[in-house]
Each structure stands twice: as C-alpha cells, then as structure tokens.
Amino acid sequence: MQKLEVQRTDDGSATLFVPELDEHYHSVKGAYTEALHIYRDCAYLHAAESIGERPLRLLEIGFGTGLNAAVTAMAATTERPVHYITLEKYPVEPELIASLDYEHIVDATLLTAIHAAPWEEPTAITPHFTLEKRCCDLLASPLPDAIDIVYFDAFAPEKQPEMWSAEIFARIYQAMRPAGVLTTYCAKGAIRRLLQATGFSVERLAGPIGGKREILRATKGE
C-alpha cells in the first residue's frame, strides 16, 4: 500500500490521507460525523427498524481505519444484532491506527477488539456484534450472500473508477436480500443512475451536518 498520512478533519476526528491518490479515507468535513450519519444512521439503524430482530448481515466495502465498524458495534443491541463482513485489500498498519486516537471518540475496548480480531475468521466482538474481516480485492473475490446492508465506502469514483462499475453494483445487488439497503457518501448523478440501472430504488438524503449536501441510499425491491 502507498504511504499514508494522518490528518485532522473539521469535526476534530482524524483520517488518513493517501498522497499518491490525493484522496482521504473519510470526508475532510468530519470523519466521525460521516461514519455516524451515512453508515450507522442512514443504513444500519434504518434497515434494523424495518427488518426486525434476526441478525442483520452487513457488508462493508473498505474496512480502512475500522471507524465505521466501531460506530456500528457500539449501536448493536439484542434487538438488532449484526454480522459485519468487511473487505479490505490494504490493511492499515497498527501503529498508524493507533495514531488516529479513535479511542477518544469511540469505545476503546471495542476498538481494540475490532483491530485485534483475526482476518478471515468470524469473531464475536460483543454478544450482538460479530466481525468478519476479509483481506481481499473486491474486484477479484466472491461476495458473501444474503446481505441486508451495504456500506459502500470505496475511494471516490474519480480516483478508483473500477470500484464503481456496473459489474460491481450488479454483483452487490445479487448478494443482497430483498429490501436490503446500500448507502454511500457519493451523490454524483452518474452513480445514482448506475445504481438505478442496476435495479435499486435510489433516494437522495441530506448529508451529515457540516458535510456534503446529499448522500445516496439505494434499496433493493421486495
């Protein structure tokens, strides 16, 4: 993986910057705010409300710093247990993870357990949150099935267009259960149309406070 730098975002939380790509791991307007709003609230909590008590199967594209996983683990309860499968091609070095200081904004014990969990092995982080970290390339790996929720958190389409292709979205759609939801920070018209062409119903939702104006939520029909 390329060299990474720690940078501070507008809500005070840190993110990683990839100089070679000129790209950040999170919104520069607020990494923590983005994780809470786009992924935890608009995808996980939204789906949990309609799906009910059975374990929800969640697929994250890009584990990165583990921030989305940590905020989701903190929200998981008996009423909305989660099996969280996350794909990552370039795991971040533990020293760099430590320098993000996320233990000051999320539960430090959970965060440590999330990073200590072995790759390729489902691990119970809490009684309500099982984590399965897969070190693999989205472009060349089979996807898990029966997915209820997708956190589509790839680098931007201008930086990594191959992650935002019709073929990738079709594979994700196939892997999802009816009524499953996908959210992404990217609200570009071309991506919205691609999701619609795949078969999803797509909503434009308000973005995080202080951040992007809009985000996308795509729902698979019943």
Residues that bind ligand SAM in the complex, under the rule CB under 6 A: 25, 62, 64-65, 67-68, 87-90, 137-139, 153-155
Burial (CB count <10 Å: 0-12, 13-18, 19+), residue 203: middle
Comparing CB distances to ligand SAM, the nearer of 56 and 100 is 100
Q: Which is nearer to ligand SAM, 5 or 79 (CB)?
A: 5
Sign of CA dihedral 9, 14, 16, 19: positive
Percent helix, strand, coil in the chain (nearest 5)?
35, 30, 40
Name the minimum Å distance from CB 90 to ligand SAM.
4
Residue 85 amino acid letter: I
Comparing CB distances to ligand SAM, the nearer of 135 and 202 is 135
For the bound state, the minimum distance from the C-beta of residue 71 to ligand SAM, rounded and expressed in Å, comes to: 9
- The answer to whether residues 92 and 4 touch, using CB atoms and an 8 Å cutoff, is yes
CB of 142 to ligand SAM, least distance (A): 13
- Which lies closer to ligand SAM via its Cβ, residue 65 or residue 183? 65
86 beta partners: 60, 133
Closest distance between ligand SAM and the C-beta of residue 32, in Å? 10
